[in-house]
Amino acid sequence: MFDIPFLDLPPLRGASGTVRLPGSKSISNRVLLLAALAEGETLVHEPLASDDTQVMLDALRALGCEVQPAESRAGGSALRIGGLGGRLRTHEAALFLGNAGTAMRPLTAALALLAATQGGRFELSGVPRMHERPIGDLVEALRALGCDIVDLGQPGYPPLRVQGQAGGRLRTQAPIPVRGDVSSQFLSALLLALPLVSEAQDIVIEVQGELISKPYVHITLKLLARFGIEVAHEQWRRFTVPRGSRYRSPGAIHVEGDASSASYFIALGAIAAHGGAPLRIEGVGSDSIQGDIRFVDAAQAMGARVQAGPGWLQVSRGAWPLQALTLDCNHIPDAAMTLAVMALYAEGTTRLTNIASWRVKETDRIAAMATELRKLGAAVTEGPDFIEVTPPARWQPATIHTYDDHRMAMCASLAAFNALAGRPASDGPGLPVRILDPRCVGKTFPDYFETLFGVVSADAQDVPVITVDGPTASGKGTLAAALAARLGYHTLDSGSLYRTTALAALQDGIAPDDEAALARLAALLDLRFEGAAVMLRGRPVSDELRREDVGSLASRIAALPAVREALHSLQLAFRRPPGLVADGRDMGTVVFPDAALKVFLTASAAQRASRRHKQLISKGIQANITDLRADLEARDARDRTRSIAPLKPAEDALALDNSALSVDESVDVVLGWWQQRRPFD
């Protein structure tokens, strides 16, 4: 998860491999609620783990439900939910539901009915945007039934309180009217909740206005059926919850991958899986119950080549450029956003209609999409319920606002393929794209960017590198790690490669001057990085690498040309999207001479000796500051005077003496330099 203020995507050019989708948000939250209302235990396989499902789980726990992590069949994740059997265990709770419409609407309905019949007081609230998302039509329907609902803010919007006395009676005889043309979630919420109070007679819901987003209601009906409740409907206008309905746990239920999340990778395949194997998407396929799977048809109409089977899709580029499209998107409201971005790569103007619901989602998505696509250079026309996109005549480097909307962030990532736009080959110049607040993807797809970076390719020269070179104990590693953390970039601690070679040489008893043997060792190093840990030959060695004898030997063997050569290509391989911060001695001079920013870090020998001393003491290692300083200076001399790749600032390096600076201050200085070199406003 990229919990950083912004993420810069370098120009991207290709896509291949396999992605495994996270579980569907819509299915996960419906299943979790149904499992909580049902009698008995339900094992939910592969539920989505995200902000929206977390708030649902927190709410269910607050209501007295038992939620336990469990093992899933294929080694994936699962949750064991102990159902309430339709009986309230807690009669008072304040539930915070973030920005999750799929939690707010059905929980409001269920708790209103439960409070009205069993007694209770429940407050439901969310983030400020949740308090701007309408719920009045649902509240009216529930009030018509006899539920007591108090507006705690603006009438018609959360926050709300639902309350009632035990033994209350509801007016379930007459058909319940509910609006269907603002959000289908009002109908879904009623359908999910009404079986709680339908023991005595059938309950009929009548939809007022044209029902939008029918596929989501279809999911609701399918899942109700899995929990033993067969709702009949006449042309999506009149729904009947049959008398005597009771939620019965299916025992175990599997959550399929999220079809809306699939849309980004379907688009990715259509744009960037060219000249090789298709991009494979696992988790949804031809057997999906989610309406957004129909995005496949729209993508195909724009030029995607798609194969589908149960639980999988394979997508590659068909027509290029893509074909513009005019489409009524009522049936794929969420995935349709992805079409607006595919339109950047199409010939002609794409017109997406019947998307008024975009305006009441996580943000006003029509306005947001229009504003952000224009920044990229596209011509965009928006109307109350449509958007028209014509690709940029000239692309611009853009800073994309995401409006705390996961889909805006995921859509924006597809703009990073601008080097491919309008060209038969992938060799045009490209522009980076800056995505603000990338963390917002956590709503439905916390690992979206990691997953994306796992299947995309870039030209090495497009992937930005920041180099931090300097003498030993100057704080390079700390600075580099902090910069990488702020930018979401990879790190290369090149010293650790020399140290690991030295440690392996000590283990194998190789003489410090046996250049050929040391080079062979370096070339075949069985080395892996697992997070911050360095694994040599399958064992974590991070602590051993910091030993003084290892550092000393590293400095000696680093003077051997064959060893440096052997480690060269290994270092280049660290240059992967979104970017790299590399620290060492020759990062800016030899390994990444084209780095976008080169920092040469210095600090006085006294400062460095004292830092190293503190470091060792804090680890409980005895050390003498005078010896440390002598050793440091000897090592500096060796690094500086060696004939190959000597330690010296690159000509275009910026010097930073951090003797008197804290780590945060140094980071701020370098980030300031970095901002100046980026093409964004």
Interaction site with ligand DC (CB under 6 A) = 472, 494-495, 498-499, 551, 554-555, 558, 584-587, 635, 639
For 669, the enclosing helix (H) or strand (E) is helix 663-677
Are 434 and 470 in contact by the 8 Å Cβ rule? The answer is no
Yes or no: say if 42 and 249 are a contact pair by the CB < 8 Å rule.
yes
Indicate the residue among 351 and 556 with the shorter CB distance to ligand DC: 556
Contacts of 232 (CB under 8 A, 6+ apart): 239, 240, 242
CA–CA dist 192, 240 (Å, integer): 12
d(CA 592, CA 595): 5
Q: How far is the CB of 589 from ligand DC (least distance, A)?
A: 9
Minimum CB distance to ligand DC, residue 452 (Å): 30
Element (H, E) at 347: strand 346-347
Residue 432: closest CA among 487, 483, 491: 487
Instruction: Identify which of residues 179 and 585 has a Cβ nearer to ligand DC in the complex.
Output: 585
CB 259 within 8 A of CB 24: yes
The beta-carbon contacts of 446-449 under 8 Å, at least 24 apart in sequence, are 446/1, 446/22, 446/49, 446/50, 446/51, 447/1, 447/22, 448/261, 448/264, 448/406, 448/409, 448/410, 448/413, 449/2, 449/7, 449/413, 449/488, 449/578
CB 572, min distance to ligand DC, A: 13
- Minimum Å gap between C-beta 94 and ligand DC is 52
Angle separating helix axes 625-641 and 605-618, nearest 10 degrees: 120
Q: Annotated catalytic residue: which of 51, 52, 258, 334?
A: 334
Residues contacting 662, CB < 8 A, separation 6+: none
Report the residue number, 497 or 667, with the smaller CB distance to ligand DC.
497
Provide CB contacts within 8 A for 198, sequence distance 6+: 172, 241, 242, 243, 244, 245
Contact 644, 509 (CB under 8 A): no
Has 334 been annotated as catalytic?
Answer: yes
Q: What separation in angstroms does the CA of 166 have from each of 121, 170, 440?
A: 11, 12, 41
Smallest distance from the beta carbon of 639 to ligand DC, in angstroms?
5
DSSP conformation class of 39: B
Residue 578 Cβ vs ligand DC, minimum distance, rounded to whole Å:
22
Q: Is 633 helix (H, G, I), strand (E, B) or coil?
A: helix
DSSP H stretches of helix in 259-386: 259-272, 295-302, 336-342, 365-376
- DSSP assignment string, 477-530: HHHHHHHHHHHT-EEEEHHHHHHHHHHHHHHHT--TT-HHHHHHHHHT--EEEE
Distances in Å between the Cα of 590 and the Cα atoms of 38, 480, 642 are 65, 18, 14
The nearest distance, CB 303 to ligand DC, in angstroms, is: 46
Query: How far apart are CB 612 and ligand DC at their closest, in Å?
Result: 10
The smaller minimum CB distance to ligand DC, of residues 163 and 500, is found at 500
Amino acid making up residue 499: R
What's the angle, vertex CA 59, arms to CA 58 and CA 63, rounded to 5? 115
In the complex, minimum distance from the CB of residue 648 to ligand DC, in angstroms, rounded to a whole number: 12
C-beta closer to ligand DC: residue 116 or 587? 587
Greatest alpha-carbon span in the chain: 93
Which of 491, 555 has the CB closer to ligand DC? 555
Minimum CB distance to ligand DC, residue 654 (Å): 18
Distance from C-alpha of 157 to C-alpha of 98, rounded to nearest angstrom = 14
Q: Rounded to whole angstroms, what are the CA distances from 142 to 137, 152, 208, 243?
A: 9, 16, 15, 19
Active site residues: 334
